[in-house]
Amino acid sequence: MAHAPAPPPRPLTAPAVASAAPVPAAPRPLLQGFTLGAGAACIAATFTNPMEVVKTRLQLQGELMRRHEASSSTASFTRVYRSAPHAFGVILRSEGVRGLQRGLFPAYLYQCVMNGIRLGGYEPVKHAINAGVVRAQHSGWAPVAAVATNVIDPIVPVLSGFTCGIAAALCGSPLFLVKTRLQAYSSDPRLAGIGAQHRYKSTAHAMMVVVKEGGVKNLWRGATASMMRTGVGSAVQLSSYDAIKNALKTHRWLQRPAADGTVQPMFGDGIELHFSASMLTGLLVAFAMNPFDTVSTRLYNQAVDAQGRGVLYTGPIDCFAKTIRAEGVAGLYKGFTAHWLRVGPHTILTFVFLEQLRSLADMHWMMD
């Protein structure tokens, strides 16, 4: 994620940190960061929600079917979707654009909660964790002013992303549950055999039904898996984006000679840099996150019995074990292509829109 240029380092009195390099400027106000993060993510979700629908359907297709059964011509299971592009076409033909945009409203709400906390809270949390790390490294005697200008420890972005991801997933879990169930539902009887089908009239109706089935706590069914999913994804995304963007700006292989004989970076701090860094980051996120994402989808969408218990899985570990036993490790990577086609562009769009919204916010702040 981009930061404003750092101010010149101030003289430090503590000898142990006298040679420290500067870090980015102080984080933005929390409310501003929340608003910018939520806004950028909602804009991105408008474009990427169709692939989220495709990914959800693919992850539920052939759920707990053994590989030889799923490929057998005599099996009762029918492979409706052959690939992500094929699934996109099938849904578009049978359910129209509305089918590809199922769950868009709870997706907006989820993005506001999840990415507002995750992206808006990342910088403040990163600075707070780094301050604690520096104080611990220097036995608690390093002054606060020195902490503010010290180098960000490499582990800090990972811990910050993981922390923000877990907090965001916990808060947004009810919305993710509703979104998943709405996206899994198909109005076409030919496609209705994939995953449990929950027929809800709206987001509010879905929440009322879920609460009626098992109480308010039922809205957080599958929250543990979602926290694992978003924690891992956020740790990879937020820490990798910073590192990849800096590498693209500074690596000697990505520099070119200028007309005046000096060497200039190939990527300036513009939309080309943000696009390239987001594309590479999205690939890493999809690879790290897909197993947890598949488990989250299945836990959220499973039907419940009269006591409000899941009929297929008791929790994330049980879901991991049953999926691997029945479908192999490849079962955890179902929908990977759709996931990449969703998370890659979503990462690109979120960070590109976030960078532009930040620039507008900075311009507004400078004019005030």
- Domain spans of the chain, in order of start: 23-71+81-367
Tell me how far apart the alpha carbons of residues 309 and 214 are, in angstroms, rounded to a whole number.
8
pLDDT at position 301 is 95
pLDDT at position 289 is 94
C-alpha distances in Å from residue 293, one per residue of 49, 124, 199, 210, 350: 15, 27, 22, 21, 19
Tokens 């543990």, residue located: 224
pLDDT at 8 over 80: no
| CATH architecture of the domain with range 23-71+81-367 | Alpha/alpha barrel (1.50)
Q: What is the pLDDT of residues 116-157, one digit of tens each?
A: 787 778 888 888 888 887 777 665 544 444 444 455 677 888
Over range 292-304, report the average pLDDT: 95
pLDDT at 300 over 90: yes
Place 261 in a pLDDT band, splitting at 50, 70 and 90: low
Over range 301-318, report the average pLDDT: 90
Burial grade of 11 (CB within 10 A; 0-12, 13-18, 19 or more): exposed
pLDDT at position 12 is 39
pLDDT at position 258 is 64
pLDDT at position 321 is 97
